Structure 1
Amino acid sequence: MPSSPRSVPSPPHSAASGSRLAASPVALAALVAANLVPLVGVVWFDWSLKALLVAYWLESGVVGLLNVPKILAASGRGDGGSSINATINGRRVDLSPPESPRDGFHFYPTNVPIAGFFAMHYGIFWVVHGVFVWSFDAFAGGAAGAVGGVPLGAVLLAAGATVLSHGGSFAANFVGREEYRSVSPGTQMSEPYRRVIVLHLTIILGAFLVAASGAPAAALVVMVVVKTALDAGAHLREHARAEKRAERPEEPAGERIEVNDASA
Structure 2
Amino acid sequence: MTALLRILGVELMARLGRRLPAPAARLVSGLMLVGANLLPVWAVVEGRLGMGDVLLVYWFENVVIWFATTMRILTARRPARRPFLRGPGGRRGDFGGLESTLAAKTWVTGDPALALFFALHFGLFTLVHGVFAAVLAGLSGVRGGLLDWVAAGGAILLSHLLSLGLHWLGGGERGAVSPGWAMAAPYPRMIALHVAVITGFFLLGGPHGRTADDLGVVALLMGLKTALDLLFHLGEHLVHARRTRAGSRPEHGALA
SS in 2 for 1:24: helix
Q: How does 1:1-264 map to 2 (within 5 A)?
A: 20-22=21-23, 24-77=26-79, 83-86=81-84, 106-108=107-109, 111-136=111-136, 144=139, 147-153=140-146, 154-212=148-206, 213-215=209-211, 216-249=214-247
Deviations along 1:73-110, one digit per CA (max 9) or x if unpaired, are 10115xxxx612457xxxx8867xx78xx9xx9422x6
Alpha-carbon offset, residue 155 of structure 1: 2.4
**What is the identity, as a one-letter code, of the residue corresponding to 1:34?**
A
**What is the identity, as a one-letter code, of the residue corresponding to 2:247?**
P
**What is the identity, as a one-letter code, of the residue corresponding to 1:197?**
I
**Distance in 2, Cα, partners of 1:66 & 1:174:** 10
**What is the identity, as a one-letter code, of the residue corresponding to 1:214?**
R
**Distance in 2, Cα, partners of 1:182 & 1:21:** 14
**What is the identity, as a one-letter code, of the residue corresponding to 2:237?**
H
Cα RMSD for the two superposed structures: 2.7
Alpha-carbon offset, residue 181 of structure 1: 0.5
2:254 alignment partner in structure 1: none
**Distance in 2, Cα, partners of 1:113 & 1:47:** 40
**What is the identity, as a one-letter code, of the residue corresponding to 1:133?**
A
**Distance in 2, Cα, partners of 1:208 & 1:120:** 29
**What is the identity, as a one-letter code, of the residue corresponding to 2:184?**
S
Deviations along 1:119-153, one digit per CA (max 9) or x if unpaired, are 00000000000011011168xxxxx4xx2225252
Alpha-carbon offset, residue 209 of structure 1: 1.7
2:13 alignment partner in structure 1: none
**Distance in 1, Cα, partners of 2:108 & 2:166:** 17
How does the TM-score come out when normalised to structure 2?
A: 0.74
More divergent stretch after superposition (28-37 vs 207-216): 207-216
**What is the identity, as a one-letter code, of the residue corresponding to 1:129?**
H
**What is the identity, as a one-letter code, of the residue corresponding to 2:178?**
S
**Distance in 2, Cα, partners of 1:175 & 1:68:** 14
1:261 alignment partner in structure 2: none
SS in 2 for 1:75: coil
* 2:55 and 2:137 in contact (8 A); partners too: no
* 1:64 and 1:122 in contact (8 A); partners too: yes
How does the TM-score come out when normalised to structure 1?
A: 0.72
Pick the structure with more helix per residue: 2
Alpha-carbon offset, residue 71 of structure 1: 0.7
1:4 alignment partner in structure 2: none
**Distance in 2, Cα, partners of 1:86 & 1:135:** 40
**Distance in 2, Cα, partners of 1:116 & 1:152:** 35
Quick one: structure 1 residues 71 and 152, their matched pair in 2 at CA, closer, same or farther if it must change by over 3 Å? farther
Quick one: structure 1 residues 160 and 114, their matched pair in 2 at CA, closer, same or farther if it must change by over 3 Å? same
The runs of 5 or more residues in structure 2 that have no matched partner are 1-17, 86-92, 249-256
More divergent stretch after superposition (205-214 vs 22-31): 205-214
Alpha-carbon offset, residue 192 of structure 1: 1.2
More divergent stretch after superposition (181-190 vs 194-203): 194-203
**What is the identity, as a one-letter code, of the residue corresponding to 1:183?**
V
SS in 2 for 1:45: coil
**Distance in 2, Cα, partners of 1:65 & 1:25:** 23
* 2:30 and 2:230 in contact (8 A); partners too: yes
Corresponding pairs, count: 212
The runs of 5 or more residues in structure 1 that have no matched partner are 1-16, 139-143, 251-264
**Distance in 1, Cα, partners of 2:126 & 2:46:** 29
* 1:85 and 1:93 in contact (8 A); partners too: no
1:8 alignment partner in structure 2: none
**Distance in 1, Cα, partners of 2:111 & 2:246:** 22
Q: Give me the identity figure in percent.
A: 31
